[in-house]
Structure 1
Amino acid sequence: MYFNRELSWLKFNERVVREADLPNRPILERLKFCAIFSSNLDEFFMVRDATILDQIKVGYNGLDPSDMRPQEVFDAIHVEVNRLTKLQEAIERRCLEDISTFGIHLIDRKSLTLSDLKALKVFFDINVFPVLTPMGVDFGRPFPLIANKSTYIAIKLMVDGIYRLALVQVPTGIDRFVALPSEHTEQRYCLLEDVITLFLNQLFSGFEVLSSCIFRITRNGDINLIEEGAEDLLDVIEEAVKSRKWGEVIRLEIEAHSDAWLLNVIMTSLQVKDNQVFYTTGIIDKTLWFRFSPSGDKQKLSAERYAPRSLPYMAKKNIFKSIRERDIFIHHPYESFDYVVNFIKQASKDDNVLAIKQTLYRVSGNSEIIKALGDAAEKGKQVTVLVELMARFDEENNINWAKKLEQKGAHVIYGLYGLKTHSKITLIVRREKQKIKRYVHLGTGNYNDQTAKLYTDMGLFTCKESIGVDASVFFNMISGFTQSIQTHTLTVAPYQMREHFIKLIDRERMNAEQGKKGHIIAKMNSLVDEEIVRKLYEAAQKGVKIELIVRGICTLVPGVKGLSETVSVTSIVGEFLEHSRVYYFLNDHNSEIYLSSADWMTRNLNRRVELLFPIEDPVIAERIRLILELELADTKKAWRLKSDGHYVRKTTDKETAMSAQDVLKTLSYDDDQTFINALKERM
């Protein structure tokens, strides 16, 4: 009845890397998808694979919902990752063949010419040699700490008739793609680690270098909090982030056909087993493709950067006045995130604004929102910001922002004990005509101006009193002490959301039982929660049509006779990362649409502070419903999940295939109603 969540995630990453194999995509974009695949895989090992390994080490042998035990999952991960990395390497080779047609070549160290070697010798002596620190390993110099996700060269030396190990870390401050002498318009590069390997003898003068290999490790990246004796959560997390670099080694990536003695010494020193070792060809750290930027015709090599659309009715107008006129729906990245930034900036400068309250989960490195909040606090406005310190791998960034905001005079909350605050909400309290008016922004994605250009998310501006009151209740809850919350329009996890979703699903089931139509469309990043899946099965068995758009993990098994015949699962992987959470319920033709920060995952419903909010404006609701219909009709970037766990492309005829993202990028409209009209013409 359930797919394994880890293996389902790996299926998602396969869909990512296959985007790199599309010949009609610009070549640097294809290499970027190779990098995304590797970056995703790094995080998977640091978190999910590490968790499975922890279960094995403590002797836990229970069955998960897919009827697999931890050791079975761990073994299956190893097999699947080996298959996927081989697929990635084959795609990478095809990418390099294709980019060579543009006169751009990555040269292997074994294929360098004599003139190449002479040029590289000069480059090495001037730019590389002074930076390197060779590390010998013997009785007086123990095996050093190997940095997470850094590239190293292991060297086998003969010292006094005995094999000895030495290590060299490939420096991060030097471009990893070293330009080679080229004629005409050709561009030739080799890797920095290859350059270092060529001249290892200079680092170990007087000793014979017998062999070498390049390797990279991944460490357990999960933070284990030890709260005893700590004064506050900030201290705890700062210490935990520091300890991450000492995490247990989870994965060893090493060049294929490496020297057996070197491999054995490295495995023994790092305490890894055979099923934690992955042999690679090509670049060992394929996230480097993010940084590959050869010169040349960028129009042919790269995708044109998309410019978000401006909204005519928001131009040259006070944003508070615009919100008073109507609820405003924003769909990123198709519509500019600047409207959200300007909402905060205007509030920080407006003398009538008394208070700004906001939750921040992930923000960019140079956030204008953070600056505006600091400015508002310095001007004496009451600024309350919940900075979630446990946003995985953004902990240090968030700690820095939290301290800066405190120095500006903002009231900073470091999250709720035992819960991550993942909700996306801003409340502006403004004095208008001797009364208080509340303006609220609610969203499905983070307040991050950089990822807003790459992720599809939805947001709503409103000054409805019912939502404003609930927003005040919500912020009072997270800044004070409470074990429950009473709201009327907003639904809050972990207090009400699970029960609300179950009620909505059960209502569709009961309508179907009475002979009425039942229909659910739900879009999210991941579907994992066992109870929600079971409720969907119950609804499907009564004839409810269930259409799921799940980008990543999906443990629900669709299309099974007698269980899920009426359930379909679509995954869209395209230029933008599909990140919106949208929930549609037919409700006997009185349809309801909700947006949320929450996926249907146990962690979101039980262990996070999340928000679910209704779309009450009928025109906006219709617009969102049509966007869902468009995505379900995608035949170019959409994949369909089969009952055997495999995904197949929905692509029909390539000439007529339609991409929902492409339609939304090119659609011409002025407001919600003209959007609806324009989209209906295209569908």
Structure 2
Amino acid sequence: MSEYVDLGAPELYLNRELAALEFNFRVLAQARDATIPVLERLRYLTIVSNNLDEFFEVRVAVLKHHHALSSAAPGPDGMPSAEILARIRERTLELVADIYTTWQDELGPALAVEGIRFLTHSQWTEKQRRWLQGYFQNEIMPVLSPLGLDPAHPFPRILNKTLNVAVVLQGRDAFGREGHMALVRAPRSLPRLVRLPAEVAGADFDFVFLAEVLQAFAVEMFAGFNVCASYQFRVTRNSELVVEEAEVENLARALSEELAGRGYARPVRLEVGADCPRSITDMLMANFQLEDQDIYRCDGPVNIIRAGIVYDQIDRPELKFPRFTPRLSPVFEKEVNEFDVLSTRDVLLHHPYESFASVVELLRRASQDPNVLAIKQTLYRAGKDSPLVDLLVDAARNGKDVTVVVELRARFDEEANIGLANRLQEAGVQVVYGVVGYKTHAKMLLIVRRDGDGLRRYVHLSTGNYHQGTSRGYTDIGLMTSNQEIGEDIHKVFQQLSGLGPMIQLKRLLHSPFTLYSSVMGKIEREIEHAKAGRPARIVAKLNALNEAHVIEALYRASNAGVDIELIVRGACTLRPGLPGVSERIRVRSIIGRFLEHSRIYWFGNDGNPEIYCASADWMERNLMRRIEIATPILDPALATRVYEETLENYLRDNTQAWMLGDDGRYIRRVPGKGQEPYSAQQALLAKYIN
């Protein structure tokens, strides 16, 4: 590469919002894959719908806000906000069309073959219509509050992502008022899917969307009027909470006040049925203060995400991925004391293939052990009814000194975390909310125990959350250790989070926002120097996302210097691989499979003395600069080899679930080459751990 190439040039970077949107096309491909069990395909479809909701609630909402204020500074790609919004719309229209084509032409028929049907009103038999009419009269109508629009009944407040039906009327009511338009808001208490009973169902499982029922029997809500037509719609609102943390005395109270208004924040998207006429969309647009580019037409239910409810309702194992029981780590298989094990060796856990129960049992023993003096833990997403929270409460009641760092600003878990913090405080746990302006995203558990004549620290560090639900569906790495230096490092980090201390010096851990970024950059530079000296140079990293411009520029320089770089990036990646003279030695792949790839692993070849880190941080600007994150080295050589082989080398072999990123930002799915056997990294791990 010429030394005059500007590696910061905008054309060398993909746009982060468009890269995030692109991920959903890869997930949707799972819904269209006929080799995947059909209920799993349905689940993938609803995952895409949920992702799209969150994309508009946060990314598009923030972008629109800054665009309206003319305060949207271009990112590394240099694309102005108006162009980003236009391209988001263009690509989203393609995605929405693909979602409903998949639903209508592929998934719906495949489900019907298995006796699972989602019936539209035109498909109802007379017997089904009578039953649904009775259901409407007895179960739905009593909780509805249809609203006729007139000067005394202005357009109502519509809650974020709720189902609504606009009804066109003709005629006069008992007061002589002429009807033109009415709205029906579906209360949250009503099920969005109605299952027909066996006596009227024509298949094993017949479901009807609530919107179909509301539209079919709208005439009963407006007796005396002629119901000309009805159209379903759904509005998506800005869900990004903005709290000026430095100006509030109580973060929990301030967030609670913000949450109360989240459901009615500024609209950013309007979904309407494909048959909705322009006059109705104009009326809705005017009331929501939206424009044409904010309207998305749905050739099917506007709340198609609700179809996913049936996944848990239908007990048909043959229509789902084969069940498996995560293996208990061999070192904990017998009745052993976890502290005895960890005092002599490190233990690595690879979820979901290995059970999260080992972490729960460690905390359970700590909560009861009379020699345990203190427990400190971070909680980002804990989940409902978390056994870990129960054990922290028990530990406090058993006289342990318990400190928990609860991240109140974990997006879409804010309300749950406020409740969790209140419960812990009531039990006597010292709860802190981290550092103003920096989300605590690190996953750490520290147990201080009296061993013999001294104190010893036992630590669990993870790439994922302390959440039993996600531990069964996300791939993550957890490390248990009593290594003295790591224990001291974690102790210092907790002191920094709960107190007001100076900069801390850590011996083993990389710590964001202090040393993680500079260390990653330094290790890339070291590989560059190895390559320039003619020594082997290689970087392999597994991440959820990559968008930090300086890291990308360093990777470009490394590629140019002769460093081979393999990146396994599940979601958004703004690096352009394979550009001549810039990134020819960089390959980027995304693995989309049964489990959500969530572990973050950094590996640096270091001229035959490789270093490998497991981290809570992606190579994103927010993780490296604006969050509390931890990357821990795997010091045991056997465990380091295991992490490399299972989470990196294994994934580089995948030729069935891997998608290769091109320099244009589009992905192409890998397929086995001539004479190659199909290989799935996740299936290989299932076979290794389960059989």
Q: Same fold (TM over 0.5)?
A: yes
Output the CA distance in 1 between the equivalents of 2:314 and 2:437.
51
Summarize the alignment of residues 400-479 of structure 1 with structure 2, pairs less than 5 Å apart: 400-479=419-498
- Rounded to whole Å, the distance in 2 between the matches of 1:303 and 1:577 is 14
Deviations 1:118-166 (A, max 9, x none): 1211111111111211122221222111111111111122355855322
Q: For residue 234 of structure 1, report the CA deviation from its aligned partner.
A: 1.2
| Amino acid corresponding to residue 30 of structure 2 in structure 1 | E
* TM-superposed deviation, 1:517: 1.0
Instruction: Give the letter for the 2:359 counterpart.
Output: V
Q: Partner of 1:617 in structure 2?
A: 636
Name the counterpart of 1:658.
679
State the match for 1:37 in structure 2: 48
Q: Equivalent of 1:12, from 1, 16, 23?
A: 23
Match of 2:93 among 77, 82, 104: 82
Q: Which residue is 2:4 aligned to?
A: none
- The superposition leaves residues 577-611 of structure 1 with CA deviations (integer Å, 9 ceiling, x where unpaired) of 00000000000100000010000000001100000
Report if aligned partners of 1:34, 1:289 keep a CA contact under 8 Å in 2.
no
Identity across matched positions, percent: 39
Deviation at 1:233, TM superposition (A): 1.2
Give the residue type in structure 1 aligned to 2:36.
Answer: R
Instruction: Name the aligned partner's letter for residue 663 of structure 1.
Output: A
Deviation at 1:114, TM superposition (A): 2.2
Deviation at 1:293, TM superposition (A): 4.5
For residues 553-592 of structure 1, the aligned pairs below 5 Å read: 553-592=572-611
Residue by residue, what CA displacement relative to the aligned partner does 1:175-223 show, whole Å, maximum 9, x if unpaired? 3332345467543322221111111111112222222100111100101
- The residue number in structure 1 matching 2:216 is 198
| Paired residue type of 2:688 | L
Distance 2:551 2:179 in 1: 58
For residue 336 of structure 1, give the secondary structure of its aligned residue in structure 2: coil
- Structure 2 counterparts to residues 276-425 of structure 1, below 5 A: 276-293=294-311, 298-315=316-333, 316-425=335-444
Closer, same or farther in 2 for the Cα pair 1:357/1:155, shift >3 Å? same
Aligned pair partner of 1:164 in 180, 183, 188: 180
Cα–Cα, structure 1 residues 183 and 244, in superposed 2: closer, same or farther, change >3 Å? closer
1:53 pairs with one of 55, 64, 76: 64
Q: Distance in 2 between matches of 1:140 and 1:32?
A: 44
Q: Take 2:406 and 2:348, find their aligned partners in 1: how far apart are those partners?
A: 25
Separation in 1 of the partners of 2:206 and 2:525?
Answer: 62
Partner amino acid, structure 1, of 2:652 = L
Aligned counterpart in structure 1 of residue 149 of structure 2, from 132, 137, 142:
137
| Cα deviation, residue 61, structure 1 | 5.7
Counterpart residue identity of residue 188, structure 2: T
Shift in alpha-carbon separation, 1:287–1:260, aligned structure 2, 3 A: same
2:249 is the alignment partner of 1:238 = no
1:356-377 CA-partner distances (Å, limit 9, x unpaired): 0011100010100001001111
Deviates more, 1:286-295 or 1:271-280: 286-295
Whether contact under 8 Å (2:127, 2:200) holds in the other structure is: no
Select which of 546, 563, 577 maps to 1:527.
546
What secondary structure, in the 3-state scheme, does the structure 1 residue paired with 2:100 have?
helix
Alpha carbons 1:165, 1:262 under 8 Å: kept: no
Unaligned runs of 5+ in 1: 671-683
Give how far 1:230 is off.
Answer: 3.5
Q: Which residue of 2 aligns with 1:214?
A: 232
1:262 and 2:273 aligned: no
Deviations 1:377-409 (A, max 9, x none): 111110000000000000000000100100000
Q: Aligned partners of 1:509 and 1:162: how far apart in 2? A: 77
Q: Distance in 1 between matches of 2:690 and 2:635?
A: 22
Pick closer, same or farther for the CA change 1:394–1:669 going to 2, 3 Å.
Answer: closer
For residues 591 and 92 of structure 1, do their structure 2 counterparts lie closer, same or farther at Cα, with a shift above 3 Å needed?
same
Deviations 1:58-89 (A, max 9, x none): 01364321121000000100010000111111
Supply the AA of the counterpart residue of 1:588. Answer: D
CA distance in 1, matches of 2:201, 2:247: 65
User: Shift of residue 653 of structure 1?
Assistant: 5.4
TM-score by length of 1: 0.95
Letter in 2 for 1:268: A
CA contact (8 A) 1:405 1:412 kept: yes
One-letter amino acid of the counterpart of residue 208, structure 2: C
Give, in whole Å, the separation in 1 of the partners of 2:510 and 2:320.
43
Query: Which secondary structure does the structure 1 equivalent of 2:608 belong to?
Result: coil
Task: Note if contact 2:347-2:479 (Cα within 8 Å) is conserved in structure 1.
Answer: yes
